[in-house]
Structure 1
Amino acid sequence: MSELIQTLLESEEKSDLRSFISELRHQEKKYFLRNDIINVYSEYCSKYQKSEEFCSSSHLAQLIYYTQEIIQEDSNLCFIIRPKIASQEVYRLTEDLKVEQMTVQELLDMRDRIVNRFHPNEGDLLELDFGPFYDYSPTIRDPKNIGKGVNFLNRYLSSKLLQDSQQWLENLFNFLRLHQYNGVQLLISDRIKSQQQLSQQVKKALAFVSSRPSNEPYEEFRFNLQAMGFEPGWGNTAQRTQETLNILDELIDSPDPQTLEAFISRIPMIFKIVLVSPHGWFGQEGVLGRPDTGGQVVYVLDQAKSLETQLQEDARLAGLEGLNVQPKVIILTRLIPNSDGTLCNQRLEKVHGTENAWILRVPLRDFNPNMTQNWISRFEFWPYLETYAIDAEKELRAEFHGRPDLIVGNYSDGNLVAFLLARRMKVTQCNIAHALEKSKYLFSNLYWNDLEDKYHFSLQFTADLIAMNAANFVISSTYQEIVGTPDSVGQYESYKCFTMPDLYHVVNGIELFSPKFNVVPPGVNENYYFPYTRTQDRVESDRQRIKEMLFTLDDPSQIFGKLDDPNKRPLFSMARLDRIKNLTGLAECFGKSPELQEHCNLILVAGKLRVEESSDNEEKEEIVKLYHIIDQYNLHGKIRWLGVRLSKTDSGEIYRVIADQQGIFVQPALFEAFGLTILESMISGVPTFATQFGGPLEIIQDKVNGFYINPTNLEETADKIIEFVTKCEHNPDYWQTISQKSIERVYSTYTWKIHTTKLLTLARIYGFWNFSSQEKREDLLRYIEALFYLIYKPRAQHLLEQHQYR
């Protein structure tokens, strides 16, 4: 990048750079984000009547393209440049256009001065740097391979098997000896005493099973294999056993990545899984739409069901039916004594449609009953998590009659609890963030002190650093969740380098090129969400009831608004009422477009109707705002706002009824990490318009099976929807085409079967990697513990003291 800047300064465009800088200074801003920079550049090109070629292809245009932020300090400008995904360079441009490269520390000091102009604290803050601790792990080189960590790790491990075969085969041998189920030895017994003997016995066992009928059940030849040193776990038939032994034989003789993954993915080593999701109202009925309760609950419940099914299948294929193996999945969440009519006050609840999947609710310790007996906002939850993890460990050990095999954290608080549990129980830890608040709230780290009373970001961001670095592997729903796009920073990438003025500097917060990151998108529950055309699977009475509720039912207790013309095409959205989900933005977009109102009705399913019914401050603000927009644009007769909580069955049917009316689903979030409602609407056959900020970019293929919108540009959003509606009116087949393409997209890529098969493969491979490199991770974990006890815990204790008086 320095070469580009130098070329620019040595070219005729130097005067253009000077003029552009002058335009920046006239803005009277200190901090320019990417959109600001592009807008100023566009205005500059227009003002000086620059050619189209200059605007897009000049040296200055290239510099603007790669510039992520510009900070103005005194007469100097700091350019934060992102030459490629997951990398950053920083340059200071002086008033006389001299260029100096800046260090990360200098950049963080400069950012601090923006906040503390009169009290700069340069040089006396804690610096956090996780970089040196990743030398135990191989790193990916090409940014396009980020998120494919398991593929890279397989290549690395198989190369080690070749380079240092003695040591790594010893590791593999010792790893195979570990596995048991309820005290019964699996895979190999102590009859096989070394990895050399293992290699010999594998060939003997192969010769034996290849002589048996392929479909002969394992129990028929079990004792023959045990005499050779092979315990249950190799297969349920002679053919399956032969396949597994053959893969191991190949792995020993000529290892390669595919063989390694194929073998380890068959090892029966996971029977007991914990999914940690502490905050919000976690239940199966009557909870969706409550504060902090939405897609995450749906995700975790569906994941639990699918994991149990996959674990049962894996155990059957491994030949463990004779051991009466019963895999168990526990969703660990919080017990809320004052449960407001939900089942959130029940300690144990079986997950519907499963044999052995449970919701285990553990209460918070009673520091102050006014807080701990009631729902607590996710932003206030932090002081209780350490003691919650200690209490949860006892409950989990009792339920499992031992320890689990895998712990999966969800969201920032769940991931911190997963870290504490995994550290105490020495179990493989997986993180799933869903969404990281740091990306949602602009300048949330820079101005954390101003936001601390409301959001407590110092605790949240510290918890994120702890959990994401401690995790054995991290699952994201999309690639951009990790490292963004060529012109936007990813959620995890935003933790690479940042400051929290007066608290600490993060010089290197996460190794983005670590193989711990894997993209594994979720599925959609096909029992509830399926195409509207599958009329044989729909219940007519449900369809009629939902149709009446959406368009005509008069029930002021839970529905606001009566439609003048219920037959207009429905423009539909369903989400929590919070600022990020931006339903008020969609209402304003609708209100500002008479043409959209002419063609469509706006139907919103969103939380509460009245401020006094809500306990969430952000929801209260959005309720007031939505009423104001309805009055401001006189949307009476054109909008329906349903403050209802839907069962899964009704939630699925609501999309199909919208599809019956050839409606449209709009997801207008200011940022969406993934977007389960997008999958739900698409599989139902509803053409979907979704935010271009976040995960929808990877779900939807624009204008093929859905459409992108910029929810901050209301006029453009309205125009895109109107264009679609107009095309549908002129060509009735157009709606059907997009509808069918939406359905096909989900079935090809986003099923829970694909998700859970991949997740369990990852858990096994990272379990092997963790076993092989455990000693090398200990220094990282000690560093993380220091961060927890010296930064997180004192701040959590301070917040707890504040809670005593509420």
Structure 2
Amino acid sequence: MTGKTNSLYLLLISVHGLIRGHDLELGRDADTGGQTKYVVDLAKALAQQKAVARVDLVTREIIDPAIHTDYANPCEQLNEQARIIRIAAGPEAYLKKEDLWDYLDIFTDNLLHWLNQQPRMPDILHSHYADAGYVGMRLSHLTGIPLVFTGHSLGRDKRSRLLAMGINSEVLEQRYNISRRINAEEDTLATADLVITSTRNEIAEQYELYDYYHPERMVVVPPGTDLEQFHPADGQAYAFPFKRCLKHFLKHPKKPMILALSRPDERKNIVSLVQAYGESTELQALANLVIVAGNRDDIREMDEGAQSVLTEILLLADCYDLYGCIAIPKHHNQEDVPDIYRLAALSKGVFVNPALTEPFGLTLLEAAACGVPLIATENGGPVDIIGNCHNGLLVDPLDIEAIAQALLTILKDPEQWQTFSQNGLQNVSKFYSWQAHAKSYLKKIKPLLDQQRPIHKVKRERNLLRYQNRAIFTDIDQSLLGNAEGLQKFAQCLRAQRKNVFFGIATGRRLDTALALLKKNGLPTPDVLITSLGTEIYYAPHITADTAWARHIDHHWNPKAIRRILAEIPGLVLQPKSEQSRFKISYHYDSERAPSPDEINALLRQEDQAVNAHQAFGQFFDIVPIRASKGLALRYFARQWNIPLERILVAGGSGADEDMMQGNTLAVVVANRHREELSQLSEPERIYFAEQPYALGIIEAIEHYDFFNKD
């Protein structure tokens, strides 16, 4: 990497949508909008800084005949020191972001495997949006690498605005997986060392809605725009190919253009703009309305949200009889976009962003850089953009009359139009260049580099591995014990394969009680014991503690504060000292008196305590450090001992086992009275629901996977 051996390696993570280094398909669907352009431009800009040796932008690999083969390319070079890396996760086909949640653990496992093959680990992880936030959080917990998070848009804000529009909560869950998204955002904010936002408004009005709200960890770094691509017209409008398609729609194409350019998404609120235009005969006489809302061949084949928006626009056009003064082109290329803005500027028109909320608004910068005045929502990023550039007006996006009046204010006053146009041209260049963004970005992350303590992989001698190239891990109480015949068969199976297979225990029990129970039931001593809900790891034959893991999970762990916060909570009673450990606080939980687990978690987050908390069997409540869990400890073991996750069979029987069963491990849910807690797991190739109970279920899974012969 050009000899900069001591420089920074930055890993950007943006999972969903269609991301490539050229011809971005912006507006194709709800997942391919401003964020995809932002992360590509960010990667390029950071890679051009002297302090940066390497930037990798990681996204999902997609192999789908319905989309371009570019998205199946495992590695795409952006410039000399930046590239796009594509990681497989779940089905090969393109999936919308709401359908990706079940595959994020697989994405994380595959990404960590890829990172382990690289010459060095990143200095910083930077996750974009909630799904990548989940991935970055897991990676940070596993590696100790500092995490930076940019939400782009946030679930709590989206939920409140969609509810206000009359969409009921059941539809929100079904269509957007909104609760899962919000939980991921809460957990990511609890982990992130730094949150980068585009505007102060995001911090004050959107992140403030979250339990783990700490504005001192949040900074504003406005993104840039490509001023070589977006600039005023240097010729006449007749040279713009896009102009030809407008002639099919407009009786008087030379009128000023009211331009909206966005995805056909409910949140973009284009329908309100059409209503404002339709209600004002003065506007219709003064200007044309041009809506560039993605690309389509047949509205009936689009996703439900886009279908609904475009259908409503067409119905309104008919209702208000807007034929001849409204244009809704079916297709445009990414190369057309600068010319579309320039056409609006040459017509003395206005660019409108009426979104319910706009996290930033890259289209506003692009339009301003081409000389178009702005009218934009007062919710979100436009407040800062127009505040800095003084090139337009802010409106309430739900006030149709206010939108119409703002348009008339600019369109009827040529001097005001000229002032806004010139202010935009000057101030976009001053405040919103990518070079300024990259320099500010590196300055903001520097304190994280000084404090990072990543967990290092220990070199293991081959003779210590004893030729074992796979492992079986199981919980004790709900997975292993419960059937004497099965237990005896399982013990015999282990002894027969002892030279080839690690035997591991992953339990909520303490070490002493776990060992005593295993001995009592005639089981061989495990090669590795993960105890106290993943907070302790021990190795045979001398039951040696892994002190590196203990140091790693001690990050931000404050048991005294946790006990103080929960001391007065009804229905929570500390268990005896024999059930407590250095990294585990255990309570008896009375479900009739105690708050829900979610409410307890929210209280802890509000008090700045980032933890993993679990309710078990309806009567126990355990709290461990945020970097600790059975699944995280198991992955740490796999990395330290060079055991591929695909060669680890994990047996579980209750909700406490869920996180070690997701991802790339082979899993079995044994039959028992608590298995319904794992019924939501759905990965048929990697999660097997056994018919047999307890240890017999594990033996059944060994046969199902042909585990001892699996490559």
TM-score by length of 2: 0.63
The equivalent of 1:32 in structure 2 is none
The code of the aligned residue for 1:355 comes to E
- Distance apart, 1:272 and its partner CA: 1.7
Q: 2:351 is matched by which residue type in structure 1?
A: F
Tell me which of 189, 197, 200 is aligned to 1:468.
189
- Which deviations, in whole Å up to 9, do the C-alpha atoms of 1:532-551 show, x marking residues without a partner? 3xx2xx7x7994313323x3
Q: Cα offset for 1:339? A: 5.0
Match of 1:425 among 112, 135, 143: 143
Describe the superposition over 1:284-334 as per-residue Cα deviations: whole angstroms up to 9, x where unpaired. Answer: 325211221110011011101100001xx236xxxxxxxxxxx22111111
Residue correspondences, number: 481
Residue of structure 2 in register with 1:696 after alignment: 382
Q: Which sections of structure 1, spanning at least 5 residues, go unmatched?
A: 1-180, 185-232, 234-267, 316-326, 366-371, 484-489, 496-508, 555-561
**Secondary structure of the corresponding residue to residue 707 of structure 1:** strand
* Structure 2 residue identity aligned to 1:652: P
Report the Cα distance in structure 1 between the residues aligned to 2:65 and 2:369, rounded to whole angstroms.
33
* Alpha-carbon distance between aligned partners in 1 of 2:444 and 2:113, rounded to the nearest angstrom: 27
Q: Deviations over 1:362-403 (max 9, x none)?
A: 1213xxxxxx232222122111101111101222343x4231
Which residue is equivalent to 2:325? 638
1:243-322 alignment, distance < 5 Å: 270-283=7-20, 284-285=22-23, 287-291=25-29, 292-310=31-49, 313-314=50-51
Secondary structure of the corresponding residue to residue 301 of structure 1: helix
What residue is the counterpart of 2:291 in the other structure?
Answer: 604
In the TM superposition, what is the alpha-carbon distance from 1:282 to its structure 2 partner?
Answer: 1.6
**Counterpart Cα distance in 1 of 2:17 and 2:132:** 11
Cα deviation, residue 614, structure 1: 4.2
Q: Residues 617, 761 of structure 1: CA spacing in aligned structure 2 closer, same or farther, 3 A cutoff?
A: same
1:290 maps to amino acid: R
2: distance between equivalents of 1:795 and 1:453? Answer: 22
Alignment CA distance shift 1:716-1:455 (3 Å): same
Contact 1:578 1:619 in 2 (8 A): yes
**What is aligned with 1:328?**
54
Shift of the 787–522 alpha-carbon distance from structure 1 to 2, 3 Å rule, reads: farther
What SS does structure 1 have at the residue aligned with 2:266? coil
* Secondary structure of 2:291 counterpart: strand
What is the deviation of 1:641? 0.7
Aligned residue number for residue 269 of structure 2:
582
Amino acid at match of 2:244: E
Deviates more, 1:271-280 or 1:701-710: 701-710
- Corresponding residue for residue 49 of structure 1: none
Structure (1 or 2) with the greater helix fraction: 1
Say yes or no: does 1:801 pair with 2:497.
Answer: no
8 A contact 1:689–1:709 mirrored in 2:
yes
CA displacement, residues 249-270 of structure 1 (integer Å, 9 cap, x when unaligned) = xxxxxxxxxxxxxxxxxxx864
Tell me, yes or no, if the aligned pair for 1:466 and 1:784 is still in contact at 8 Å. no
Preserved CA contact (<8 Å) 2:369 2:425: yes
1:363 maps onto 2:101 in alignment: no
CA distance in 2, matches of 1:384, 1:542: 49
Distance 1:614 1:358, change over 3 A: farther
Q: Which residue of 2 aligns with 1:510?
A: 212
* Distance in 1 (alpha carbons) for counterparts of 2:557 and 2:377: 41
Question: Could you give the per-residue CA deviations for residues 596-619 of structure 1, whole angstroms, max 9, x where no partner exists?
Answer: 111010111112445556442211
User: In 1, Cα distance between the equivalents of 2:627 and 2:332?
Assistant: 41
Deviations 1:27-77 (A, max 9, x none): xxxxxxxxxxxxxxxxxxxxxxxxxxxxxxxxxxxxxxxxxxxxxxxxxxx
Q: 1:758 aligns with which of 411, 436, 440?
A: 440
Task: Tell me, yes or no, if structure 1 residue 404 matches structure 2 residue 100.
Answer: no
2: CA distance, partners of 1:475 / 1:735? 33
Larger strand share, 1 or 2: 2
2:106 is paired with a residue whose SS is helix
Question: Match for residue 392 of structure 1?
Answer: 111
Secondary structure in structure 1 of the residue aligned to 2:107: helix
The amino acid of 1:574's aligned partner reads: L
Q: Distance in 2 between matches of 1:576 and 1:788?
A: 41
Instruction: Specify whether residues 351 and 602 from structure 1 end up closer, same or farther in structure 2 by C-alpha distance, changes over 3 A only.
Output: farther
Matched to 2:312, the amino acid is K
Contact 1:573–1:605 (CA<8 Å) still a contact in 2? yes
Alignment of 1:119-198 (within 5 A): none
Residue 645 of structure 1, CA deviation: 4.2
Identify if the C-alpha distance between structure 1 residues 289 and 645 changes in structure 2 by more than 3 Å, giving closer, same or farther.
farther
Flag the 1:597–1:449 CA change in 2: closer, same or farther, 3 A.
Answer: closer
Using the alignment, how far apart are the partners of 2:147 and 2:122 within structure 1? 11
Instruction: Quote the Cα distance in structure 2 between the aligned partners of 1:799 and 1:684.
Output: 50
Q: Distance in 1 between matches of 2:332 and 2:379?
A: 27
Quick check: 1:588–1:629 contact (8 Å CA) kept in 2? yes
Q: Matched residues in 2 for 1:703 and 1:518: separation? A: 20
Q: How does 1:652-801 map to 2 (within 5 A)?
A: 652-701=338-387, 704-728=390-414, 733-771=415-453, 775-778=554-557, 780=610, 782-784=624-626, 801=682
1:658 CA drift (Å): 1.5
The 1-side partners of 2:279 and 2:427 are apart by: 32
Provide the rounded CA distance (Å) in 1 between the counterparts of 2:238 and 2:70: 27
* Aligned residue type for 1:521: P
Pairing 1:494–2:494 present:
no
Cα distance in 1 for residues equivalent to 2:161 and 2:412 = 40
Identity of aligned residues (%): 28
2:221 aligned with 1:520? yes
The C-alpha deviation readout for 1:689-731, integer Å capped at 9, x for no partner, is: 0001111111103994211111211112101211221112xxx
Deviation at 1:469, TM superposition (A): 1.2
CA contact (8 A) 1:435 1:673 kept: yes
> Does 2:198 correspond to 1:455?
no
CA distance in 2, matches of 1:726, 1:339: 50
Distance of aligned partners of 1:783 and 1:644 in 2 relative to their CA distance in 1, 3 Å threshold: farther
Aligned residue in 1 for 2:279: 592
Mapped to 2, the partners of 1:666 and 1:788 lie a distance apart of 50
1:559-574 equivalent positions in 2, closer than 5 A: 562-574=249-261
Letter in 2 for 1:494: L
Q: How far did 1:676 drift? A: 0.7
- The 8 Å contact of residues 286 and 342 in structure 1, kept in 2 or not, is answered as no
SS in 2 for 1:492: helix
TM-score (norm 1): 0.56
Partners of 1:663 and 1:693 in 2: CA distance: 23
1:803 to 1:724, Cα distance in 2 relative to 1, 3 A: farther
Aligned to 2:341, the other structure's residue is in SS state helix
Q: Which of 216, 231, 245 is residue 530 of structure 1 equivalent to?
A: 231
SS in 1 for 2:157: helix
Return the structure number with greater relative CO, CA threshold 8 A, min gap 6. 1
Query: Could you tell me which residue of structure 1 aligns to residue 501 of structure 2?
Result: none
Structure 2 CA distance for aligned equivalents of residues 276 and 708 of structure 1: 32
Gaps of 5+ in 2: 455-550, 559-609, 612-623, 632-654, 664-677, 686-711
Matched residue type, 1:716: A
CA contact (8 A) 1:476 1:521 kept: yes
Does residue 440 of the first structure (1) align with residue 219 of the second (2)? Answer: no
Distance 1:277 1:788, change over 3 A: farther
* Residues 337 and 344, structure 1, Cα contact 8 Å, conserved in 2: no
> In 2, distance between residues paired with 1:613 and 1:361?
31
1: CA distance, partners of 2:229 / 2:679: 45
